Structure 1
Amino acid sequence: MKKLMLLTVLLTAGTLFCSAQADLPSAPGTPSKAQQEILDLSKTKWSWMADKNVDSLNTLFTDKCVFVHMGGSWGKTQELSTIKGGMIWYKKAAVYGASVNIFDNTAILLNDIDLLAVVGGNEVVHSFMVTEVYLKEDGKWKMGSLTFSQLLRPVKMTTNTPQH
C-alpha cells in the first residue's frame, strides 16, 4: 500500500513537473513553442505580403490592426488596399534577426530586416526594425499592429539574400 501511494505521488509530481516545463522559456537561443509559432507566422506573413495575398492577410489582421510606415499610418482596410493596388509591393524581406516576447495573449516580435519594396512604381531598399504585435483570439494569433522604424545601419541585402 505504501509503495502504491509513493508511486502515485511520484507520478503526480512528475506530471506536474513536465507540465510546468512546457510553459518555461526554452534554453537560451532556442525559441519556445509559442515563440516559434509567432516566428513562423511572421515569416509566412512576409511571403503573403510579397505575393500580394490579401485574402490570407485579411484573415491574419484584426479589424482594428494598425500599420505605421515612413509615409503615414492607417488601418486594415487601407493596408489591404495598398497591397492589392500595388501602391506598396513588399517584394522581398531579408530577415537578419528576430526576437519574440510573449505576455499572456500578446506577442511582440522584433525583426531586423532589409526590405526591397516597390513604392509608387520605384524600387527602394531600406533597413528597418519592424515591430509586430500579435493577439491570441479564439486560440489563433492575429496581428494587431505592424510598425516600420528605419534603422541607421547600412543595407545588407544582396540579390542572393534569401526571401523571408
Structure 2
Amino acid sequence: MKITLLLVGKTTESHLNQAVEEYLKRLKRYISFEVSVIPELKNAKNLTFDQQKEKEGVAILNALDSSDEVILLDEKGSQYSSVEFASLLEKKGLASVKRLVFVVGGPYGFSCDVYARANGKLSLSRMTFSHQMIRLLFVEQVYRAMTIIKGEPYHHE
C-alpha cells in the first residue's frame, strides 16, 4: 500500500517543513509515503469562499485515481487514538488498498463533490489547527502508527 498526503497549498513555515521532512525520512523504512501539493489558487482574493472550495475541489478530484481510497482530514471526521489509527492503517494494507489518500483541503474546507468522492473523514482533534500544522501532526501520527504496527518502542502505553 502507498499512502499519499494530498495538500492544497505549500507549507511556508521553514521549521514545519524541516520537521515534516524528518518524519518523511523516517517513514521510508516502513511504507511508501508521498506528499503531493496542489498549488494555491491564483487570484483567490477575487473569489468567494464557495468559489474557492469549488475550484480547489476540481483540483483535488483531478489528482485522484478512480481506485484510490480517499480520507478527508476534516473536523467532523472520526477520531482515533494512535493505536486505533495504527490498526486502521494495518487493516487498509491487509485489504489490499493500493493507494490510501489523505486530503488536507484549503482554508474553507471541501466542496460537495470532494465530500461525495471521499471514502471517509478523519479528525486529528476537536481543536482547530492551522493547515500547515496539520501536515506535521499527520505525518508524525503515520510514523507513530508504523512503529506501533512493528512493535517498536516509539509509542508508549
Query: Scaled by the length of structure 1, what TM-score is found?
Result: 0.24
Highest Rg: 1 or 2? 1
* Structure with more contact order per residue of length (Cα contacts < 8 Å, sep ≥ 6): 2
- Answer 1 or 2: which has greater helix percent: 2
Q: Larger % of strand: which?
A: 1
